[in-house]
Amino acid sequence: MSAAQTQLAWDTMLDLGGPAGSPLHRRLAGALRAAIETGRLAPGAMLPPTRLLAEELHCSRWAVTEAYEQLTAEGFVEARVGSGTRVRAVPRAATLAEHARDARAAAGIRYDITPGMPDLAAFPARDWMAALRTAITRATAEDLGQPRWGGHQRLRDVLSGYLARVRGAATSAASLRITTGIADGVGLTGAILYRHGFRAVGVEEPCWRRLPRVLAASGLEPVPIDVDADGLDVDALASKQDVRAVLISPCHQYPTGVALSPQRRAALLEWAQRVDGVILEDDYDSEFRYDRPAGGALQAAGPAHVFLYGSLSKTLAPALRLGWLVCPPHWSGEMRGDALAPYTPPTLDQLAFAAMIQSGAYDRHLRRQRVRYRRRRRLLLDLVGTCLPGVRVSGTAAGLHLLLHLPAPVNTAAFTSRARDAGVSVMTLGSLRSVDVACDDALVIGYGNVADADLPGIVRTLADLLQSSV
């Protein structure tokens, strides 16, 4: 008989409280499990014989036997014939470490205003939970099998209708594929284009660097095309003889924030038709437009030549890993799953998104967020106007980021590194270019995931740094 068994009073050691109404054997198993996990019952310790423990706890012997069997099945204890039940040596779960936060704290970063994140504190947890409940309640046994490649029919139906009414997209369930995000969809398209003889693809300069990398991984050479105040320079694109595909964010260019002008839109579609080319439309944040209703997707005007990509990463949370693409009808047959094809998101998440659209909760959330972001943008612009004289602002009409152009003598890259030392993590426009351009740099400020209350402190820090820079 081990020390553990003789020295401990089992009825005081085991907290049998548990959730009201849960059976005693389950509460007993839980209490023993907790005792093992916290180390109160050490590896090698013997559990008392079932008869003795039942007496001590004033319960049936069956309840104790049942609890021991459960813990044996779980691997916490092992029973040997003739020698009782003993606690196994089990590694304890490590204390949870919030690694990223630690890393940030270690680097002394108080404020992260790099772009790319929506307001994660405003994640509509209750709406998402309710949508998941609907999804799980309605799921058939078949829905729980292998997800169908390209997405569940219900989400494809519902999302197709949504994109038509909100983005004006020319879409149908047949031309829609559910992906794990925009990069996933772009990579899938890149692989198909490569198989069809495409070797180069125009990309905006500057742009979100990940997408050219994804296309390069498919074998396509990214060819930078400059962006000016009217968006992508379509003449420059047309002058590249070997380029018949282009990746573009026409509604709100990332990161400059300009919109493709109506003339350029027309010219781009005309180009696509002339060269029998394809346009990859990155529709990453057009849910958030502040000055007027969001412009319709380019895809609406040229569905035969435009692939349209969107995701939940800016509207709900990147953690959900859910996105979509609309492909031109005559490419639809190519968009099939195979062993190498990207992965289809979990079915219940897909059905939850469908339920959230159908209940209206998704639209309501977006409307709330537009109000929230508009207010935050206003606050930020006011602070910049007051505290940062000489700083020009651009790219404010939409989305979750804007540009701050520092006065001429200031080296923006050097400023960024000093800002980081002062606890503000911020990104430069230059870092989103494929080549170094000394002039015309700017700060790219993401205000999506910043608390309103932090904005004054952030702008003051930048103002102090600026004052000591000029």
Site for a second copy in 286-325 (CB under 8 A): 317-322
Strands (E), 397-457: 401-405, 424-425, 427-428, 443-446
- Closest separation in Å from C-beta 137 to a second copy: 7
- Closest separation in Å from C-beta 179 to a second copy: 10
Binding to a second copy by residue 76, rule CB under 8 A?
yes
- Closest separation in Å from C-beta 210 to a second copy: 7
CA-to-CA distance for 427 and 416, rounded, in angstroms? Answer: 7
Size of the site for a second copy (CB under 8 A): 85
CB neighbours of 54 closer than 8 A, spacing ≥ 6? 60, 61, 63, 64
- Complex with a second copy: residue 364 or 392, whichever CB lies closer: 364
Residues 363-402 interacting with a second copy (rule: CB under 8 A): 363-364, 366-367, 370
DSSP state of 452: G
Residues 16, 144, 414, 470: which binds a second copy (CB under 8 A)? 144
- Closest separation in Å from C-beta 59 to a second copy: 19
- Complex with a second copy: residue 437 or 451, whichever CB lies closer: 451
CA-to-CA distance for 120 and 288, rounded, in angstroms? Answer: 15
DSSP state of 462: H
- Complex with a second copy: residue 344 or 428, whichever CB lies closer: 344
Residues 81, 339, 408, 453: which binds a second copy (CB under 8 A)? 339
Binding piece for a second copy, criterion CB under 8 A, among 45-53, 206-214, 378-386, 407-415: 206-214
- Closest separation in Å from C-beta 239 to a second copy: 29
- Complex with a second copy: residue 296 or 410, whichever CB lies closer: 296
Binding to a second copy by residue 88, rule CB under 8 A?
yes
Q: Give the β-pairing of 200-205 and 245-248.
A: parallel
Binding to a second copy by residue 408, rule CB under 8 A?
no
- Closest separation in Å from C-beta 70 to a second copy: 6
The structure tokens listed for 468 are: 């000591």
CA angle 116, 117, 122 (to 5 degrees): 160
Burial of residue 142 (CB within 10 Å: 0-12, 13-18, 19+) is exposed
Are 14 and 32 in contact by the 8 Å Cβ rule? The answer is yes
Start-end of H helices in 245-309? 262-274
Residues 51, 101, 195, 199: which binds a second copy (CB under 8 A)? 101
